[in-house]
Amino acid sequence: MNVTPDKSLILEQTIERVRNRVGARGWDLVTVSGGGGVIPFCYTVGFQATWGHPDIIVFGVLESFATAALTQVASRLRGKDWGLPDGTLPKFFGKRDGWACFVRADAYAHYFYVGQRLYPQHTHGIQVFAPDSYGNMPWDRAYNGITPPVLTVLH
């Protein structure tokens, strides 16, 4: 007999796991694999609660790239250095630059779901845009990657 676990139970276990990791190291990375028309993405939970830095969301990037890049940001935050500027991110994805902009996390709770469940008072996030394998950004005509949604920018 094949028993499928209840989705709400899995969600609650995920939230508890993230809460424990944030408590132990200050942050965690939540990955959504995509499928069914959803672009894969990942986001941090705990940056704002631990260091006062907005949590970060990245769409359409390999989890290994996102993990490496966001771990570097967490290391900078632990060292009391500001994590991400608004604008160009030199060599953020290995040999390629990225781009960051401040967004309304509370308006996109369906993307920042676990973070919003743990910290509903946090209203800001940072969306990082990644280049394709040729270095083109999503707004470039020659872009050859998965086009991410553009969240509402704060300025």
**Phi, psi values for residue 144, rounded to 5°:** -130, 40
Q: Judge whether residue 10 has pLDDT over 50.
A: yes
Please give the model's pTM, rounded to 2 decimal places: 0.81
- Residue 96, domain member (yes or no): yes
**pLDDT confidence of residue 1:** 46
- Residue 150, domain member (yes or no): no
- Residue 44, domain member (yes or no): yes
pLDDT digits (tens, 9 = 90+) for 29-64: 998 886 666 678 889 999 989 988 888 888 887 788
Q: Judge whether residue 9 has pLDDT over 60.
A: yes
pLDDT band per the 50, 70, 90 thresholds, residue 18: very high
DSSP character string of 80-103: T-----SEEEEEEETTEEEEEEEE
Number of domains in the chain: 1
The stretch 103-117 carries a mean pLDDT of 80
- Residue 50, domain member (yes or no): yes
16: containing domain: 7-129
Helix (H, G, I), strand (E, B) or coil at 10: helix
pLDDT band per the 50, 70, 90 thresholds, residue 111: confident
**Phi, psi values for residue 103, rounded to 5°:** -135, 170
**pLDDT confidence of residue 21:** 95
CA distance 72 to 97: 14
Across the chain, how many H-helices and E-strands are there? 4, 6
- Residue 23, domain member (yes or no): yes
Give the residue among 148, 99, 96, 153 at the shortest CA–CA distance from 125.
Answer: 153
- Residue 146, domain member (yes or no): no
Helices (H), 5-151: 7-25, 47-51, 63-78, 113-118
- Residue 145, domain member (yes or no): no
Helix (H, G, I), strand (E, B) or coil at 123: coil
Percent of the chain with pLDDT strictly greater than 90: 15
- Residue 151, domain member (yes or no): no
pLDDT band per the 50, 70, 90 thresholds, residue 27: very high
